[in-house]
Amino acid sequence: MSLLEARNISVDIGRTRILTGVSASFRSGYLTGLVGPNGAGKSTLVRALCNLLKPAAGEVRLSGAPITSFHRKELARKLSYLPQGHTMHWPLEVERLVALGRLPHLGPFSDIGPQDQAAIDRAMARTEVSAFRFRVAETLSGGERARVMMARALAVETDILLVDEPVAALDPYHQLHVMELLRSLADEGKLVVCVLHDLALAARFCNAAVLMSEGRVLAQGAPQDVLTDTHLRAAYSIRSLQGQHEAEPFILPWRRLDADASKPEPRPC
Ligand SMILES: Nc1ncnc2c1ncn2[C@@H]1O[C@H](COP(=O)(O)OP(=O)(O)OP(=O)(O)O)[C@@H](O)[C@H]1O
């Protein structure tokens, strides 16, 4: 069981305070949707949780121990991070790119072994990219590349997975597929944190949610308690339609609040 906690962290970039007193906890068995408007600090929080940013105050703890107490390679075997965007620096074949996910498990001069190859094959199968195995990743479409990068993150086979906007480039079929995959990983006992803009996907697939706004946590807990119309108004300045279909919740962003204000009053007949 893993517990990843931000304890009252503040993060500065340059002279700007980006996160202010953020406390949030993430547990095994949960797919936590990290939502909030552009610039709310979601990616910054994820980077702090991965020990890629040092908080100016507060600390991040992994299963009770300061995240800074873990050696880099040890942490890379515990925690896999898929950053936003999918920058590729070299023209690599897909299988070799996914194989990079096994680096934390390899010794300095050791090569991919049968266990590593099995993990690579599993990750490619789960993300449905096996057919691209021998393609140069740069030649793939944006959505295909996003799934390959997800495969690389999965190939590490860590107990903790933090993914930043993994469905942003995907078509609806693959959005559903990736969300089902992330939820099944959580149901298998992994700790999964997913930055999302799609509130419908967050409401439907996540079993925990953290809503951020202006560098702070506005609400956290069960998605139905976090993604309320009141909270969404406060965070995004939107009204939302909320309901159920096939016994599952849905949320549809409906109208900007300032658009409401500028709407003319209906004329009396
Ligand atoms: N290197 C930097 N220098 C200055 N400001 C930065 C830097 N990196 C991030 N910021 C600012 O920090 C704030 C939070 O950024 P962050 O990327 O965490 O937001 P986000 O919630 O992930 O947004 P989005 O949904 O747009 O991806 C933003 O206002 C951003 O402009």
Q: Where are the domains of the chain?
A: 3-262
- Which percentage of the chain shows pLDDT scores above 70? 96
Q: Which fold has domain 3-262?
A: Rossmann fold (3.40.50)
pLDDT of residue 63: 94
Res. 136: pLDDT tops 70: yes
Q: Atom 13 in ligand 1: which residue has the minimum CA distance?
A: 39
Nearest to 185, CA basis, from 240, 123, 131: 123
pLDDT per residue as tens digits for the range 214-265: 999 999 999 999 999 999 999 999 999 999 999 999 999 999 998 766 666 5
pLDDT of residue 229: 95
Residue 14 — pLDDT band, cuts 50, 70, 90?
Answer: very high
- Ligand 1 mutation target, pool 9, 11, 13, 34, most atoms within 8 A of CB: 13
Is residue 190 within 8 A of residue 138, CB to CB? The reply is no
Q: How far apart are the first and last CA of the chain?
A: 64
Q: How do 160-164 and 79-82 pair as beta strands? A: parallel
Res. 120: pLDDT tops 80: yes
Task: Report helix, strand or coil for 73.
Answer: helix
266 lines ligand 1 (CB under 6 A): no
42 lines ligand 1 (CB under 6 A): yes
pLDDT of residue 112: 85
Task: Quote helix, strand, coil % in the chain, to nearest 5.
Answer: 40, 30, 30
* HSE, side-chain direction, 13 A CA sphere, residue 226: 25
213 lines ligand 1 (CB under 6 A): no
Task: Show Cβ contacts of residue 224 under 8 Å, excluding neighbours closer than 6 positions.
Answer: 203, 249
Which residue carries 């086979």 as its tokens? 157
Backbone angles phi, psi at 190, to 5 degrees: -80, 160
- Ligand 1 mutation target, pool 18, 82, 196, most atoms within 8 A of CB: 18
Which residue carries 């897909």 as its tokens? 94
Average pLDDT, the chain: 93
**Most confident option among 90-94, 133-137, 194-198:** 194-198
Is residue 67 within 8 A of residue 75, CB to CB? The reply is yes
66 lines ligand 1 (CB under 6 A): no
Res. 40: pLDDT tops 70: yes
Res. 90: pLDDT tops 80: no
pLDDT of residue 261: 63
Backbone angles phi, psi at 143, to 5 degrees: -70, -40
Residue 117 — pLDDT band, cuts 50, 70, 90?
Answer: very high
* HSE, side-chain direction, 13 A CA sphere, residue 136: 7
Global pTM reads 0.93
Tokens of 62: 């992994």
Res. 32: pLDDT tops 80: yes
Residue 1 — pLDDT band, cuts 50, 70, 90?
Answer: confident
